Amino acid sequence: MLKGKTAIVTGGTRGIGFSIVKRYLENGANVAIAGSRQESVEKAMENLGEYQGRVMGIWPNLGSPEEVAEAFASVKEKFGSLDILANNAGISSRTSLYDYTLEEFQKIVDINLTAVFICSQAAARIMKDQGGGVIINTSSMVGEYGQPSGCGYPATKFAVNGLTKSLARELAKDHIRVNAVAPGVTRTDMVAALPKEMVERISAGIPLGRMGEPLDIANAYLYLASDLASYVTGITLRVDGAAMT
């Protein structure tokens, strides 16, 4: 589905991001894994040995427009194009409003929102010059419903939804599609560490009767990156088993 395309996946070293990387590689894409540390990127690449030659690693500071632009240019130089950007890097928090520090709130904003803007800008500049591309942002079900603590996380996901819609309208003339994926409760490392009874209680509240797997989310990213979604832009695709519906 992505043969001959090149993708960058931020937060691609583990969890949902690593599943996106694998699905893109399985479907013929070249992929650059972007992570926060060189060590974590290289470890992820070691687990993708069968795709040597079609995968590379980058670790720019996502808060630095200069570092991001340089890293993205290196991807285009290696593979010849930049067709897909998956803005998946993000951090969460459950801190109560009464205990939230400005520093903690700002850190959430920097990673979950500002980095999405910086990476989208760098990718769009390359994509415009080559005639088009696809940007996909990771939102969340709490970007629609909120959550009872850790207000910084849902606030940034609400903002990502708005950024997605706005960029979709602005960049359409340059043949750049912009969408978002909003995962529900997904079996990441953090969830896997929860007690079995807690996982069962969480799953019982989801109409489909189970929590999502990283592959469920990665499949949505695959669809939106592919030509099957060539007339789809400006949406936030919920992948949550009808949770909170």
Gap between the Cα atoms of 229 and 191, Å rounded: 31
Gap between the Cα atoms of 162 and 146, Å rounded: 15
Residue 143 in this model has a pLDDT that exceeds 90: no
Active site residue 98: no
DSSP 3-state of 219? helix
Contact 201, 193 (CB under 8 A): no
The values of phi and psi at residue 149, to 5°, are -160, 170
Give residue for tokens 């030509």: 227
* CATH code, domain carrying 212: 3.40.50.720
Evaluate whether residue 61 is within a structural domain.
yes
Mean of all residue pLDDT scores within the chain: 94
Handedness of CA 235, 239, 244, 245 (dihedral sign): positive
Give residue for tokens 């996106």: 20
Number of domains making up the chain: 1
| Tens-digit pLDDT profile for residues 159-211 | 999 999 999 999 999 999 999 999 988 888 766 666 677 677 777 889 998 88
- The residue segments making up the domain with residue 143 are 6-239
Gap between the Cα atoms of 157 and 140, Å rounded: 6
- Residue 231 DSSP symbol: T
Stretch 144-158: mean pLDDT: 91
Evaluate whether residue 1 is within a structural domain.
no
Evaluate whether residue 63 is within a structural domain.
yes
Hey, which residues does 32 pair with through a beta bridge? 8, 56
Query: Which stretch of 24-28, 79-83, 196-200, 219-223 has the lowest confidence by average pLDDT?
Result: 196-200
Q: Among residues 24, 51, 145, 153, which one is catalytic?
A: 153
Quote the pLDDT of residue 71: 98
Evaluate whether residue 245 is within a structural domain.
no
Evaluate whether residue 153 is within a structural domain.
yes
- How much is the CA Rg of the chain, to the nearest whole Å? 17
Residue 6: pLDDT band with limits 50, 70, 90: very high
Length of the chain measured in residues: 245
User: What is the crossing angle of helices 115-130 and 65-79, to 10°?
Assistant: 40
Higher-confidence residue: 205 or 213? 213
pTM over 0.85, yes/no: yes
Evaluate whether residue 244 is within a structural domain.
no
Q: Token digits for 220? A: 């949505």
Longest Cα–Cα distance in the chain? 52
Evaluate whether residue 175 is within a structural domain.
yes
| Tens-digit pLDDT profile for residues 53-92 | 999 999 999 999 999 999 999 999 999 999 999 999 999 8
Evaluate whether residue 202 is within a structural domain.
yes
